Amino acid sequence: MRNRSAKVFCFYFIFLLGGCDIAPHQSSFSDCRHVSAGYTHSCCVHSTGKITCWGSNTYGESSPPRFTDYVQVQADEYYTCALRETGEILCFGDNILRINGEEQFTLHNLDAPTQGGFVQIDINAFNGCALHETSTISCWGDTNSGTPVSSPEGNNFTQVSVGGNQSCALHGDSTVQCWPDQIDRDDVPPSSHFYSQISMGSTHGCALTSDAFTICWGNDFDGQGDSPGHWLGHPVTQVAAGGFHSCELYAEGLVECWGNNDWEQCDVPGVDDFVQISAGSFHTCGIRKSGRVLCWGENDKGQSSPP
C-alpha cells in the first residue's frame, strides 16, 4: 500500500497540468457479477466467466489467462488471483518486492496451491488464503517480514479474508478467528456478537454481524474503524475494508463509506442500486443492478475507469 502523501502529486497535476481525474466512471459492459478494486488496477468477472481488468498492467496484473469459467477475482498491489469453476486458483502479475524501484527479493505471492477444490479466495500484497470445499483454509506467500505465512487449523470455516497485517476467518458457528495478533487497537472483533461476513483492510478489519450491522477493529488513524453501524431499519448486507477506508452496502442498494478520503474514495456517487462493493487502496468500485461497474477515487493508472 502506498503512503497517503500521494495526493500532493494530484494537486500538482490538477493546478499545473489540469490532470488527475478522480470523478466517478461507469463501465460500458453490463454483465459484471464480481468486482475487485486493488491498488492501481481493478478487475471484474463477467456473467460469461471471463475476466476484464483495467488500470496498471506493468507486471501483467491486468492480463488474466484466457478462460471462460472464472467465478471470483481478487486484485491487490501488483498481482491478481482468480478462482475457476474447477476450484483451481490462478495468480498472475508481479512477485518481486521493490523498495524505491529497487528489487529486494522474490515473493511467493503467486504460489497458490494447485490441488483445486477451492470455493473462495482472498489476497493482500504479499500472501493469500483460500477456502477449500472441505471447509479448511490453505494460505501461501510471505508475511511483511519475509517469513512464510501460516494456515489456521480447523475444518469448519465458511469464509476467509486477508489483510495487510492480519487474516481472519469465519467459522460455521458464526464466530471469527484471526491470526496473527498484530493489529493495534483490538486484535479481533468482539466475541459478544455472531458474524456473517468479514473483510480485512491494510491495517484494520470489519465484520458484518448476524443482525446486520458493521463492527470494525484495528488501526483507526483515519477513522477507517469508526463504523456507522447501520441506519435504523436499513440492514447492511456487505462490508468492505480497503487501504485506509471502509464501506458498507445496505439492502436497498445504498453505499456508505468512511475513513481516509484523500482521493474522494469515500464520496459515493448518488445512486442507490449497488449489489456488490469493493474497497481498494485509494479507490472504490461497485456493481449496480444493471451489471455495470461504477468506480470512484484515485485514478492515476486508470484503476477507476472501467472500459
Domain annotation covers residue 306: no
* Residue 164: CATH number of its domain: 2.130.10.30
Question: Contact 274/287 with Cβ under 8 angstroms?
Answer: yes
How far is 283 from 62, CA to CA, in rounded Å?
Answer: 17
Asked if 93 and 36 touch (Cβ cutoff 8 Å), the reply is no
Q: pLDDT category, 232, cuts 50, 70, 90?
A: low
Q: Is 228 inside a domain boundary?
A: yes
pLDDT digits (tens, 9 = 90+) for 37-63: 999 999 999 999 999 999 999 999 999
Domain that holds residue 190: 4-297
Report whether pLDDT(237) > 90: yes
Determine the Cα–Cα distance for residues 275 and 264; give it in Å rounded to an integer: 21
Give the number of domains in the chain: 1
Q: Rounded distance, CA 142 to CA 6, Å?
A: 26
* 17 vs 232, residue with greater confidence: 232
Q: Mean pLDDT over residues 251-273, rounded? A: 97
Share of the chain above pLDDT 70, in %: 90
